[in-house]
Chain A
Amino acid sequence: MTEPAFFILTALVDEPRHGYGIVQEVAELSGGRVQLKIGTLYGVLDRLTAEGLVELDREEVWQGRLRRYYRITEPGAHALDAEAVRLAENARSALDRLQGRHGAVRIAGGLA
């Protein structure tokens, strides 16, 4: 799963959102690191919709323009859950090793 897809699915977990709502939420979730362009957003949404991970929730007209709200599906929530577990395990492995390294450095420093 790509990083934009991961963040878009995460943005849709709590409530359905429209295009710019997703862009804003992804920016907030990533601490401003992932700034989705509109072309990129709809490319990822097309793919997630085709895979059945996201679906259209409702359509609204706001200031004369069409807004579509998207929501995460059950398979989408499962896919996100699996990816989140995988990333968390990767992070835990890295932290464990770093902790061991810092411990070794501390011991070596203490002996010296």
Chain B
Amino acid sequence: MSLLEERYRRVLRVLPASYRAEREEEMVDAFLESVGEIADADERKPRWSEVASVVALSVRVRLGGIGAAPRAFAAGETVRLVALLGLLLNAVLSAMHLGWLLRVAGVFGPIPDFGPGFGLGWSSPGSVPIVEGLASVAWITAYAALIGGRPGVARAAALLALLPAGWDLAVDVVAAVSSANPDRISVLYLLFGVIPALALLAGFHRDAPPVHRARWMIAVPVATGVPLWLLGASLLGWKPAPLAWIWADTWGIAGLIVVVAGVVCLAVHRFSPGRRTPAWPLALAVLALLLLPLRVQASIDYLSVPELRGQAPLVVALTAALLLVAGALLISGVRSARRLPKDPAAPRPA
């Protein structure tokens, strides 16, 4: 075996073992024939374009689309749902955030004064609210494009939406290097956007089934985000007890949404066996696990700040609920996935 063949076989290891068992020999034959009978086969390496094509094939096989084995298809559906639900959640939070930015800008009248430490004013005026507002619009656009069957537009919008947070993180990292005080929590916030964006990149490949979601779902972020914001805004407008609702910030609401969605999903799995799929519980579990460290950090903050300690039981209870729901969803999803056949049918001469 030449070094070139050995190197190509090493590249093929990114493919699942079951796929390699079926395809490796003919892929090696086709590859060696394509590079020709070269004298210096021990000197050459597979080109990057060949390596990239095998990596892309590996993603398509593992995150199966049309015609894939049931378990690979379920993995693909899980990743595609992580993308869809992650974009939906980011879009809902963005709709709320847009309302918040407009309120801070004074569009809805004067801002109430809650005393020192609890003002709604922007701490660093200038271009920051505009950039955040554009990022929020980009999240809503990404979600709407995916629902509308335009994953390419959704990818571009999601990457745009991530730019400000990515830039902030880069600034934090540079500051951390010089101050030795890294802001790890901003990495966790960024992950909540990065993971759905990566799922969008990987899951909606050429073989992925077209998105057939009802068009009315495009309105969900605004239809849920605006009432949630109105609720928060009106409650915060009722003096003198805004602290009672201070837990219901963006990430508190996100935790609550995931807990409620997880409980509904578990109920469907429990009482409607015919509708069991691994994709929904696993995708919701991924979102719950992404939120969990943020809520644990919030619980620690509420317990350690004397003024917030009165709200700590509620925040800790929500965090515990998130943990329990994530665990139950994982178990339910893994069990459903194990019931599915693993290997695709091998091609046989007709």
Q: A residues engaging B (CB < 8 A)?
A: 2, 18-20, 23, 37-43, 46-47, 49-51, 55-59, 62, 65-68
- Interface residues in B, total, Cβ within 8 A: 31
Contact A20:B67 (CB < 8 A) given known A38-B50, A38-B53, A56-B347: no
Distance of A19 Cα from B50 Cα, bound (Å): 14
Q: Is the CB of A68 within 8 A of B347?
A: yes
Q: Is the CB of B29 within 8 A of A37?
A: no
Which candidate, B55-63, B191-199, B211-219, B329-337, is the interface stretch facing chain A?
Answer: B55-63
B173 within 8 Å of A (CB atoms): no
Q: Is the CB of A65 within 8 A of B28?
A: yes
B residues in contact with A39, CB < 8 Å: 50, 52-57
Q: B54's closest neighbor in chain A, by CB? A: A39
Q: B residues engaging A (CB < 8 A)?
A: 23, 25-34, 49-50, 52-57, 60-61, 65-68, 206-207, 347-350
Q: Is the CB of B50 within 8 A of A37?
A: yes
A residues in contact with B34, CB < 8 Å: 20, 23, 38
Distance of A27 Cα from B165 Cα, bound (Å): 44
Distance of A51 Cα from B206 Cα, bound (Å): 14
Question: How distant is A34 from chain B, measured CB to nearest CB, in Å?
Answer: 13
Contact A19:B30 (CB < 8 A) given known A2-B206, A51-B66: yes
Question: How distant is B253 from chain A, measured CB to nearest CB, in Å?
Answer: 41
Q: B29's closest neighbor in chain A, by CB? A: A65
B residues in contact with A18, CB < 8 Å: 26, 29-30
Distance of A7 Cα from B348 Cα, bound (Å): 23
B residues in contact with A55, CB < 8 Å: 347, 350
Q: Is the CB of A56 within 8 A of B26?
A: no
- Looking at A40, A41, A46, A62, the one whose CB has the most chain B CB atoms below 10 A away is A46
B residues in contact with A56, CB < 8 Å: 347-350
Main secondary structure on chain B at its contact with chain A?
helix
Distance of A43 Cα from B349 Cα, bound (Å): 19
A residues in contact with B30, CB < 8 Å: 18-20, 23, 38, 41
Distance of A55 Cα from B346 Cα, bound (Å): 12
- Looking at A2, A18, A47, A58, the one whose CB has the most chain B CB atoms below 10 A away is A47
6 nearest A-B pairs in the assembled complex, by CB-CB distance:
A50-B67, A39-B53, A19-B30, A37-B53, A66-B25, A20-B33
Q: Is the CB of A47 within 8 A of B66?
A: yes
Distance of A20 Cα from B50 Cα, bound (Å): 14
Contact A47:B29 (CB < 8 A) given known A38-B50, A39-B55: no
A sample of 23 inter-chain contacts (CB < 8 A) reads A18-B29, A19-B33, A23-B30, A23-B34, A37-B49, A37-B52, A37-B53, A38-B34, A38-B53, A38-B54, A39-B55, A42-B23, A43-B206, A43-B207, A46-B67, A49-B347, A50-B68, A51-B66, A58-B349, A65-B26, A65-B32, A66-B29, A68-B26
Q: Is the CB of A38 within 8 A of B27?
A: yes
Question: How distant is A65 from chain B, measured CB to nearest CB, in Å?
Answer: 4
Contact A19:B67 (CB < 8 A) given known A40-B53, A43-B60, A56-B347: no
Q: B56's closest neighbor in chain A, by CB? A: A39
B residues in contact with A51, CB < 8 Å: 66-67
Q: Is the CB of A49 within 8 A of B67?
A: yes
B residues in contact with A47, CB < 8 Å: 65-67, 206-207
Q: Is the CB of A19 within 8 A of B29?
A: yes
B residues in contact with A66, CB < 8 Å: 25-26, 29
